[in-house]
Amino acid sequence: MRGRNTACVVGLLLAVTGCTATANDTTTTVPTTSTTTVATTETLSAGDGTPGATGLNDPYNPSAGNGGYNVVHYELDLDLDVATGDMAGVASIEAIALDSLSSFNLDLHGLDVSAVAVNGVETASVVADGEMTVLADLDRGTAFTTTIGYSGVAGQVSSPSVGIPNGWIRSDDGMFTVNEPDGAPTWYPVNNHPSDKATYTISVTVDDPYTAVSNGLLMEKRSGDGTTTFVYSSDDPIASYLTVVAVGLFEEEPEAGPQGLPIRNYFSPDVTDVERSYFSRQAEMIGFFAGLYGPYPFDSYGSVVVDADFPAALETQTMSTFGRGVLRLEEAVVAHEIAHQWFGDSLTPASWRDIWLNEGFSTYAQWLWTEHTDGPEAFDGLVDNAYRTMSGLNLVGEDVAPALAAALAAQQYPPPGAPPLTNLFNASVYQRGALTLHAMRLQVGDDTFFEAVRSYAMAYQHQNVTTADFIEVAEEVSGQDLDALFDAWLFAEAVPSIPQLGLAPPG
């Protein structure tokens, strides 16, 4: 076993804080220089500023993220014992104070913090209920670096918004992360909200012969004493839910993408040839989508297929993650995750409320890929089936009258523009979201539709977006008032008719 003494890794002299303090700790004053300090979140403040907010007031998860600062760059050094899952981490987080702060918060779940420093000076901190509060005296506009040593066996959080595990997950030959929407704080301290995108350098040290995969370009592969350190770097900003680390006995299969774009695929050894074959047209997919949406937005792409029957894939930036459970859906899911590199990764919703901007756009792109490979009838079939499912037409039969079918569908598939917090990724944000785009296309015509979507993708590259941003571009490019169309498709309970296709809801 290798030593995993976090305090040594950080290079700090003292472990400053009692970092597993609970709400029962009642220390009333906090020394600004100290040895061992235990405090409540409420008492941890310094200087003339005010405490940073513990959330960003996203209506879909008010406590998600933290206020008072904006992160510029994360540098994560993770030292992982693959067999036990024991991890020692050091996070260096460069940020800008947006207010005068007496303290600020990061999100962190289930890991032990051994030492914290702000701009190289040790400071006190407390972790409780997924919130880490760091004592600091910062003027508004100050750039500052927070260094945090931490350790433990990372785990999972149950997210209010999604039914699949979120966080750090074991696979048959290693582990992988699934962060969307709440998993990132299970493995690093983070401002966990999609509106605070930042660049990343992620270094992962694993025992030989394991391979560690992460976002961006592999900058360095360093051999140690029976270990290898993999250093990845991303110059383009990433939302924390799109960061990834996957470790396994991966077989690397590199290929060349359009214009020399490097594509690196990592397959766990048990991944079958049939499963691998779904990835054989990634270069063509990237070229196809670049033709529709503008240049591929990043310096690399790749897919990692982990040896777990995990029933999902995630569009982790530049390195999509696939559980083997999802590959039964075949090639279309590979196209879907590539389309997300534009819609979700480059253009990231400012609030979870607008998740249809990810899923509706990527589902529509996936349908376009199917049209490209299987012809217009296949595309028409996807549109028709989605409409029948979303509207309830599919349910109408001897036992189900049209009005009941419409009511059942409305209950199961709420309008995609404001999905329920407890069912954020319901099928409506995918399918009715995609139908919303198709309805717009039928109204404004093919050329205008694709020009609008491309203009939107180019205008907001690497930024955050809202539904209003897209509607504004769509109206500008088309010269039409599209409010009624988007209101009906995104926010009205009843699925609108598509007269051009002879489709109308039951009843």
Contact residues for Zn ion (CB under 5 A)? 359, 362
Give a three-class secondary structure readout of 382-434: HHHHHHHHHHCHHHCCCCCCHHHHHHHHHHHCCCCCCCCHHHCCCHHHHHHHH
Comparing CB distances to Zn ion, the nearer of 48 and 330 is: 330
Residues in Cβ contact with 395 at an 8 Å cutoff, skipping those fewer than 6 apart:
404, 405, 408, 409, 506
Least Cβ distance, residue 352 to Zn ion (angstroms): 14
Least Cβ distance, residue 336 to Zn ion (angstroms): 5
Comparing CB distances to Zn ion, the nearer of 205 and 362 is: 362
Q: State the DSSP string of 243-297.
A: --EEEESPEEEEEE-GGG-EEEEEE-TT--HHHHHTTTTHHHHHHHHHHHHSS-S
The three-class DSSP label of residue 131 is: strand
Helices (H), 294-355: 331-340
Comparing CB distances to Zn ion, the nearer of 97 and 162 is: 162
Amino acid at 423: N
Least Cβ distance, residue 340 to Zn ion (angstroms): 6
The three-class DSSP label of residue 470 is: helix
Amino acid at 307: D
Comparing CB distances to Zn ion, the nearer of 53 and 292 is: 292
Least Cβ distance, residue 359 to Zn ion (angstroms): 5
Comparing CB distances to Zn ion, the nearer of 79 and 359 is: 359
Q: How many residues does this entry show for the chain?
A: 507
Comparing CB distances to Zn ion, the nearer of 235 and 330 is: 330
Least Cβ distance, residue 314 to Zn ion (angstroms): 8
Of 325, 329, 302, the closest CA to residue 312 belongs to: 325
Phi, psi of 345 (to 5 degrees): -90, -60
Least Cβ distance, residue 488 to Zn ion (angstroms): 24
**Whether 299 contacts 235, CB under 8 Å:** yes
Least Cβ distance, residue 386 to Zn ion (angstroms): 15
Separation of alpha carbons 205 and 211, rounded Å: 9
Least Cβ distance, residue 46 to Zn ion (angstroms): 43
Comparing CB distances to Zn ion, the nearer of 216 and 360 is: 360
Least Cβ distance, residue 98 to Zn ion (angstroms): 31
Separation of alpha carbons 111 and 276, rounded Å: 35
**Whether 104 contacts 136, CB under 8 Å:** yes
Peptide bond into 181 cis (omega under 30): yes
Angle between helix 467-478 and 356-374 (nearest 10): 50
Comparing CB distances to Zn ion, the nearer of 203 and 362 is: 362
Comparing CB distances to Zn ion, the nearer of 236 and 359 is: 359
Least Cβ distance, residue 121 to Zn ion (angstroms): 43
Comparing CB distances to Zn ion, the nearer of 107 and 359 is: 359
